[in-house]
Amino acid sequence: MLSNLLRNYKVMLILGAVFALLTAVAASYEWKKIAGNKDVLVAAVDIGPGVELTAKEIVTKPKNKRDLPQDTVYSITDLQGKAPRGVIPQDTVLRQSMFKPMESFGAEGMLKDYPGRKALAFGRDLDTTVGDQVQSGSRVDIHAIITGAINGAEKKKTVAENVPVLLVTATANTQNKSSAAVVVALTPEEIDKIMLAHAESAKFLFTLLPKN
């Protein structure tokens, strides 16, 4: 009977040692996991381009340091004077490469990304915004519809293809709708075609291209 008790006691000691070892390993793993985390800035909502961020658009979340790119953003102060280059989807870890200086925005600054092109504005309406779906960063084809003097016949032609949209502006003054515009970047050849069509009182229509 004594030998059985001793045997059981040894088994309990062994089990206790194994349990203690497993607990220590688990605790060590959790500690390494926690110690390996770092708070980073994450998009709390879908963030649009060209607007400097506020605390409303971002949230801080812990991420494993080993998974983070070198240009990860850890503080909103690192983004002062900068704005997103394009749309940043919700839950995306923010990176410096996603931003550029505020002075780079506006049509003049944005043209630096499109060498050889110039900015031209069209009145903002259903036809040029595809029902308000066109936005900064979109790509469009531009078509001209010309009503001829003879028999009222219409002539349709595409005057520019795969055109980058720089800005879609709106005015707070509803009495001055003419200031609402879609600003695009065009090559000199495309501008010539549009000017000729404009001289014929053409109506312009945009078609929205799918995202790459």
The pLDDT tens digits of the residues spanning 155-170 come to: 899 999 999 999 888 7
The per-residue pLDDT for range 43-57, each reduced to its tens digit, is 999 988 877 788 888
Q: Look at the pTM and tell me if it is higher than 0.85.
A: no
Question: How far is the C-alpha of 124 from the C-alpha of 181, rounded, in Å?
Answer: 4
pLDDT class of 19 with cuts at 50, 70, 90: low
Q: Which residues contact 18 (CB under 8 A, 6 or more apart)?
A: none
Looking at residue 70, its amino acid is Q
pLDDT class of 173 with cuts at 50, 70, 90: very low
> Is 98:40 a contact under the CB 8 Å cutoff?
no
Among 102-111, 123-132, 146-155, 158-167, the range scoring the smallest mean pLDDT is 146-155
DSSP string, 16-28: HHHHHHHHHHHHH
